Chains A and B, each alone.
Chain A
Amino acid sequence: MSLLDVENLWVRFPTRQGVFDAVRGVSFTLDRERLGIVGESGSGKSMTGRAILRLIRKPGIVEADHIKLEGQNLLDLTEPQMREVRGQKISMVMQDPKFSLNPVMTVGDQIMEAYLLHNDTSKSQARAKSIAMLEAVSIRDPERVMRAYPHEMSGGMGQRIMIAMMLVPDPQILIADEPTSALDVSVQRQVLDIMDGLVKERGMGLIFISHDLNLVAEFCDRVLIMYAGRIVEVCDADRLHEAQHPYTRGLLNSLPRLDQPRKHLEVLTRDDTWAEAESVRGNA
């Protein structure tokens, strides 16, 4: 049985101009693997991640035949039951640390809060654990960082702080929504190594949402490519560069490359038929 099984997922937003379908009939499964979801902004990749955790707020509508976590349909759970799932079973690292950290609490207090919520222990132990976690995500000078407020942190540090908080409850599935797009290559590597370790050591499933094709090709096992709310192509990550779909090809070709200098970069030309084609199934 798959760790996570999503069947025919739709995310809809009613607007004055009619209903907007952000995600349109997406099906995929996740095992203990690293699954990448790539696409441009607006392709529905983040909405897919949020829908799994039922984080789409009203008036947004989430519909699916099922979203099963180890056989348990998450759509049947009550909101208090769902709160048990979030964090404990499925955790999410959001896109932007600027918006996901509390701006008026010190970093230390926030990590300690996350730890104390899930563990019945003393404050001094929570503090020691928090410092250990900051070190685990390779933050220099964790003592100073504990005293600091989020606005004093760079984006890369903020994101590593977020991941440190995620390490606390030991979840089965980690949904990482552009966790490294604010980071630079060397730090990106560290953050990915941390997440890679989690997948391997704890047997976690990882959904890695990103717009960075090269990163996904290198880091994930399988990749779903989304366009306009649908999956247009599924491929093994190491074969991403052999992808067939013109959209995937267009994205790959628009990247600047060190080995092929040119004056102008290729620009993606879109085709309406991409959006209309049936969603491809992303089963393992």
Chain B
Amino acid sequence: MIALSIRKLDVWFGSDRDRVDAVKDASFEVADGESFGLVGESGSGKSTILKAITGLAPTWSGEITVEGQPLQGGTRNRAFYKTVQMVFQDPYASLHPRHTVDQVLSETLYLHGLAGIDKRVEALLSDVGLGGRFRFRYPHQLSGGQRQRVAIARALAGEPDILLLDEPTSALDVSVQAEILNLLTDLRDEHNLTYLMVSHDLPVIGHMCDRLAVMKDGEIVEVMAADDLRNNTASHPYSQSLLKASAAG
């Protein structure tokens, strides 16, 4: 089954001389249970695709279909939020500084209309490898990795099928990155999740994803399997240059 399908997607911001076409004619499909990566330089439109899916960038045209349901503009219904959730890049910015972990997760569960919130908060925390002692802490009392775990727990609260991961480890140390990537691998197995992951780090995408799309200036220049990445058999010259830069760096 197709979890997520994007066809001829255009996303733009602004108008007239300041109009920016952030995504141009992008098409790809992500199968159920698959992990799909989006790579490209900053400003290439990879995060903008996630924003268009979640309704954070309402000015788009084309087709976005989530589990067979077509989406429109910038409004999303409740069913959508129970299907698709997002983890943002910067765990320092994506958690409310004056809400405890408990408040963050309880509020999310409440908004999803779920019962038995108390039990669920506990379960979510243990899912992401945080003990009960973290439950009543504020974000500033957590390390970057722990914060990202809370952000992942929040995304998992509504028991989604699809997780959109926007550079989930780029703000973290490599040692912590390894922990978070391992956590995401385990959660994918346990909850049978589909990942759409944005990253500029090709080894991270190669580690996590089955297939990936390479983006440049808002366009998808190539869709390839992670094995192509590993065997260095990218066909488009831009993907090759990206791989070369990454191998050197």
Residues of A within 8 A of B247 (CB): 258
Quote the shortest CB–CB distance from B227 to chain A (angstroms).
9
Which chain B residue shows the least CB distance to A39?
A: B173
Residues of B within 8 A of A263 (CB): 185
Residues of A within 8 A of B249 (CB): 185, 188-189, 212, 214-215, 218
Residues of A within 8 A of B241 (CB): 186
Residues of A within 8 A of B246 (CB): 185, 258
Residues of B within 8 A of A257 (CB): 203
Residues of A within 8 A of B176 (CB): 40
Inter-chain contact A256/B207, CB cutoff 8 Å: yes
Which chain A residue shows the least CB distance to B175?
A: A268
Residues of A within 8 A of B43 (CB): 154, 156-157
A276 interface contact, C-beta 8 A: no
Inter-chain contact A186/B245, CB cutoff 8 Å: yes
Residues of B within 8 A of A215 (CB): 249
Contact of B248 among A157, A218, A258, A261 (CB under 8 A): A218
- Given the known interface contacts A185-B202, A187-B42, the answer about A265 and B245 at a Cβ–Cβ threshold of 8 Å is no
A119 interface contact, C-beta 8 A: no
Contact of B175 among A40, A183, A262 (CB under 8 A): A40
Inter-chain contact B41/A264, CB cutoff 8 Å: no
B179 interface contact, C-beta 8 A: yes
Binds B, one of A80-88, A125-133, A198-206, A247-255: A247-255
List the interface of chain A (C-beta within 8 A of B): 40-41, 144, 154-157, 181-189, 211-215, 218, 250-251, 254-259, 261-268
B79 interface contact, C-beta 8 A: no
> How does the 8 Å CB contact mask read for B228-249 relative to A, with 1 for contact and 0 for none?
0110000000000110011111
- Given the known interface contacts A254-B177, A266-B178, the answer about A185 and B242 at a Cβ–Cβ threshold of 8 Å is yes
Interface centre among B18, B144, B175, B207 (most CB of A within 10 A): B175
Complex alpha-carbon distance, A41 and B176, angstroms: 10
Complex alpha-carbon distance, A127 and B125, angstroms: 53
- For the complex of A and B, 8 pairs with smallest distance between CB atoms: A184-B200, A156-B42, A256-B207, A254-B178, A265-B178, A268-B175, A40-B173, A154-B42
Complex alpha-carbon distance, A255 and B179, angstroms: 11
Quote the shortest CB–CB distance from A76 to chain B (angstroms).
36
Q: Can you add 11 more A-B contacts, CB < 8 Å, to A184-B39, A254-B178? A: A156-B43, A182-B42, A182-B170, A183-B42, A185-B200, A186-B245, A188-B249, A189-B249, A250-B175, A263-B185, A264-B185
Inter-chain contact A258/B202, CB cutoff 8 Å: yes
Quote the shortest CB–CB distance from A145 to chain B (angstroms).
11
Which chain B residue shows the least CB distance to A216?
A: B249
Complex alpha-carbon distance, A221 and B144, angstroms: 30
Residues of A within 8 A of B185 (CB): 263-264
Interface residues of B in 150-199 (CB under 8 A from A): 170, 173-179, 181-182, 185
Complex alpha-carbon distance, A255 and B200, angstroms: 15
Complex alpha-carbon distance, A256 and B177, angstroms: 9
Residues of B within 8 A of A268 (CB): 175, 178
Q: List 26 A-B contacts (CB under 8 A).
A: A144-B18, A156-B42, A184-B39, A184-B42, A185-B242, A185-B245, A185-B249, A186-B41, A186-B245, A189-B245, A189-B249, A218-B249, A254-B177, A256-B181, A256-B206, A256-B207, A257-B203, A258-B202, A258-B230, A258-B246, A261-B206, A261-B230, A264-B185, A265-B182, A265-B207, A268-B175
B204 interface contact, C-beta 8 A: yes
Which chain B residue shows the least CB distance to A250?
A: B175
Which chain A residue shows the least CB distance to B238?
A: A186
- Given the known interface contacts A185-B245, A215-B249, the answer about A256 and B203 at a Cβ–Cβ threshold of 8 Å is yes
Complex alpha-carbon distance, A66 and B22, angstroms: 51
